[in-house]
Amino acid sequence: MKIQEKNIAPDGVVNIETLIIDIKSMISSYSREPNLVRSLNSIISKLNTIREILHYNHRLPMQQIEERIKEICKEDKYLNGVEIRINFTKKFGEIDETKIGRLTANV
Percent of the chain at pLDDT > 90 equals: 17
Q: Are residues 34 and 52 in the same domain?
A: yes
pLDDT mean over 11-27:
87
- The pairing of strands 101-106 and 81-86 is antiparallel
Query: What total of structural domains would you count in the chain?
Result: 2
Label residue 7 by pLDDT band (50, 70, 90).
low
**Whole-angstrom distance, CA of residue 73 vs CA of residue 53:** 33
Does residue 35 form part of some domain?
yes
pLDDT mean over 46-63:
79
Q: Which domain holds residue 98?
A: 61-107
pLDDT mean over 9-38:
86
User: pTM of the full predicted structure?
Assistant: 0.50
Label residue 41 by pLDDT band (50, 70, 90).
very high
pLDDT at 1: 45
Q: Are residues 54 and 94 in the same domain?
A: no
CA angle 72–57–46, rounded 5-degree value: 100
pLDDT at 106: 66
pLDDT at 92: 83
Q: Are residues 47 and 76 in the same domain?
A: no
Q: Are residues 70 and 46 in the same domain?
A: no
